[in-house]
Structure 1
Amino acid sequence: MSAQGANIPESDSAQLRLQAEVQYAHELDCLAEEDDRQKPPNWKLSPWAVKLYLLGGTLSDGTEITPKYLGNDRLIEIAIATLATDRALLLYGIPGTAKSWVSEHLAAAISGTSQLLIQGTAGTDETALKYGWNYARLLAEGPSDRAIVPSPMLTAMKTGRIARVEELTRIPSEVQDALITILSEKSLPIPETDSSIHAVKGFNVIATANNRDKGVNDLSSALTRRFNTVVLPVPESFEQEVEIVHRRSEQLGRALELPVEVPALDEIRRVVTIFRELRNGVSVDGKTKLKSPSGTLSTAEAISVVSSGMAMSAYYGDGSLKAGDIISSLTGAIVKDPVQDLIVWQEYLQAIVRERDGWKDLYRASRESL
């Protein structure tokens, strides 16, 4: 997942986070140049090229396409094929399973932009999904096309591109239902002007949702039927999760310009081991049953732990990631409930960390931090 820094325009190099279509512009251009397969209407790349962009590979001219998602290839194929039909795509799973990441890269590869985005919150109203009004024009001219302020959804419909809805289940149920007509009829009535907007070919919607947040609004059966749901799981294997954490933390270190060495695989393996054992409720050798904390302990949180440790090492250590650098953020990721989770963590430290060969430094660091 290299940043392709040499291909980023100088005007964009100071941005903290680049959009996928900017950060990976070189890869997308190379894919477009080689891509001679049939494309759905208004797609920038064919389904074959979109898959290659997401999963990585090598082009005939030797260009390396870095993998954006490490996991089940079939899930990505289903997601891409869904977007080539008239069905919307719902990426579902626990927090931290790369739903937003996959959504962004799918939109960037298919439409050339990932920025037609609606962020779902408890305060999201229908104007975010439909349209608003320029009230100065509305007062001066009355309801007219010129007075309409289009939402990202409306812009995607008019231009035949992908609209993204993040955290769909955070949006109030009555607002969610505004999507039903859009997804079923591919049109949006505007009663104030006695007109309708009809979607151009290529339009579709990618929504993300998880079932762990408090305050989640369940989707109605009518809305659920308009989506094809793809569940993104936590990484299946230990090695796969280690690779994801290593790639993303290395990438973040470069983006933040941290003066630190590439994070050591041994330390990353230790973080991933802790997360997987506590998630699964059993030690890796299967001999010790463990209590699980209240949090999800996702791969995204493991990346955050390593990245925070890199910053500690860079500015307050010797630039080499060590147990003392990660222990604070590791404890913070595990202990969400200051009572119950702290008990779980302390029991794990005593039963596993203290007794495991080569982990004495982590145990000492944990005792100093608690």
Structure 2
Amino acid sequence: MDNGTALDNGAVPDNGTAPETAGDEVLRPHAEQQYAAELALLAEHDDRPRPPGWRLSPWAVTTYLLGGELPDGTEVSPKYIGPRRLVEVAVATLATDRALLLLGVPGTAKTWMSEHLAAAISGDSTLLVQGTAGTPEEAVRYGWNYARLLAEGPSERALVESPLMRAMRRGMVARVEELTRMPGDVQDSLITLLSEKTLPVPELNAEVQARRGFTVIATANDRDRGVNELSSALRRRFNTVVLPLPESEADEVEIVARRVAQLGRALELPEAPAGLEEIRRVVTVFRELRAGLTGDGRTKLKSPSGTLSTAEAISVVTSGLALAAHFGDGVLRAPDVAGGIVGAVLQDPASDRVVWQEYLETVVRDRPEWADFYRACREVS
């Protein structure tokens, strides 16, 4: 976290740039605030070609995301742990005139990656449209200040810019979260914007043409309920990168440990490494139930209805740390995570309870080193 002063009301300045700093009272700083020092050092050492409007070169953006060492020996922390080639494809896509669609099941760091890409490329990750079933077309295109509209009629002063319009005018990255949750007609309002890089404003007999550097990063998944399929016309406007679940248990443990440590510091909870064994156990349970197979490949399992994603594992461990800090001795133990795991697994109380009880009695009980975890889960189950 940087050491500057935050805007008292947390608002974005009128010039469209994100607040430069975040004080200690901010629960979750934007990526460009939290990692301002790393971004500044990368820019200082970055002597490679930068696409128009970019603050860093594609090489530096990739280094920011995956981590690495700068010429002066400074370590850049990894923000994403996964295949390097996927990140390179995503960054290269944004260096062209194509928009980027990050696709994957819940919990594969789609939002996390889109935020850090925007922070590294534009220095501002706040130009965001959150997709929901109730997202109106105005959130994608533009709206009106109706008091001015009634008083003055259609005018530039009465126009209310959407985040995408601001990004077009300033040559920056705009983000669209959960694109498939938006109604189909709202989704399709992106087609002209992405293909022509122009946003018509017929009420003013005008248009907004995107400046160089403008692009869109969208995220979507096809596993949750309430998903609206993208039209083929809209899909063609995106280059799609599918983000996988962590390939190995070690990778997933590292991801969970890193994120829990960051969240724990923000919440002033005990350090995550004190409970690394419990983190590994949570990850093992989630991976085995997701795969429908134990880690040794010997026992087939039924899978629950939930996704049991890495993000949910992070939530379980963070909640466990809070229990350990406020109602225990500060060390993460089996009883601290048992309740969170059971709650994550039992999304459908009827069918998932059968799955969980079978896993508990046929797998967990037969692992002597998991005796404390078995007892804790039996208590809360």
TM norm structure 1: 0.97
How far apart are residue 212 of structure 1 and its match? 1.0
Give the conservation status (yes or no) of the 8 Å contact 1:263–1:310. no
> What is the identity percentage for the equivalent residue pairs of Structure 1 and Structure 2?
65
Consecutive unaligned residues in structure 2, runs of 5 or more? 7-22
Give the conservation status (yes or no) of the 8 Å contact 1:8–1:23. no
* Alignment match, 2:357: 346
Matched, 1:192 2:203: yes
Structure 1 segments of 4 or more deviating over 4 A?
A: none
* Alignment match, 2:174: 163
* Alignment match, 1:242: 253
Instruction: Give the distance between the partners of 1:281 and 1:139, measured in 2 at CA.
Output: 60
Q: Which amino acid aligns with 1:284?
A: G
Give the conservation status (yes or no) of the 8 Å contact 1:89–1:205. yes
* Alignment match, 1:129: 140
* Alignment match, 1:66: 77
Instruction: Give the distance between the partners of 1:293 and 1:190, measured in 2 at CA.
Output: 49
Give the conservation status (yes or no) of the 8 Å contact 1:91–1:230. yes
* Alignment match, 2:117: 106
* Alignment match, 1:281: 292
Instruction: Give the distance between the partners of 1:260 and 1:229, measured in 2 at CA.
Output: 37
Aligned CA distance change for structure 1 residues 317 and 27 (closer, same or farther; 3 Å):
same
Partner residue of 2:224 out of 213, 223, 227: 213
How far apart are residue 198 of structure 1 and its match? 0.4
Residues 176-230 of structure 1 show CA distances to partners (whole Å, capped at 9, x for unaligned) of 1100000000000001001111000000000000011111100000000000000
* Alignment match, 1:317: 328
* Alignment match, 1:56: 67
Consecutive unaligned residues in structure 1, runs of 5 or more? none
Indicate the SS of the match to 2:190.
helix
* Alignment match, 2:283: 272
Q: Which amino acid aligns with 1:9?
A: G
How far apart are residue 264 of structure 1 and its match? 2.0
Aligned CA distance change for structure 1 residues 156 and 212 (closer, same or farther; 3 Å):
same
Q: How does 1:219-230 map to 2 (within 5 A)?
A: 219-230=230-241
Query: How many correspondences in the alignment?
Result: 365
How far apart are residue 247 of structure 1 and its match? 0.7
Instruction: Give the distance between the partners of 2:185 and 2:318, measured in 1 at CA.
Output: 39
Partner residue of 1:9 out of 4, 7, 20: 4
Residues 338-368 of structure 1 show CA distances to partners (whole Å, capped at 9, x for unaligned) of 0111110111000011111200000111111
Residues 78-100 of structure 1 show CA distances to partners (whole Å, capped at 9, x for unaligned) of 00000011110000000000000
Matched, 1:88 2:99: yes
Indicate the SS of the match to 1:359.
helix
Give the conservation status (yes or no) of the 8 Å contact 2:260–2:272. no
How far apart are residue 8 of structure 1 and its match? 3.6
Give the conservation status (yes or no) of the 8 Å contact 1:130–1:153. yes
Give the root-mean-square deviation of aligned CA atoms: 1.0
Aligned CA distance change for structure 1 residues 331 and 8 (closer, same or farther; 3 Å):
farther
Residues 145-175 of structure 1 show CA distances to partners (whole Å, capped at 9, x for unaligned) of 1110100000000000000000000000011
* Alignment match, 1:78: 89
Q: Which amino acid aligns with 1:309?
A: G
Q: Bigger shift: 113-122 or 280-289?
A: 280-289
Residues 70-119 of structure 1 show CA distances to partners (whole Å, capped at 9, x for unaligned) of 00000000000000111100000000000000000000000000000000
Indicate the SS of the match to 1:358.
helix
Instruction: Give the distance between the partners of 2:227 and 2:306, measured in 1 at CA.
Output: 16
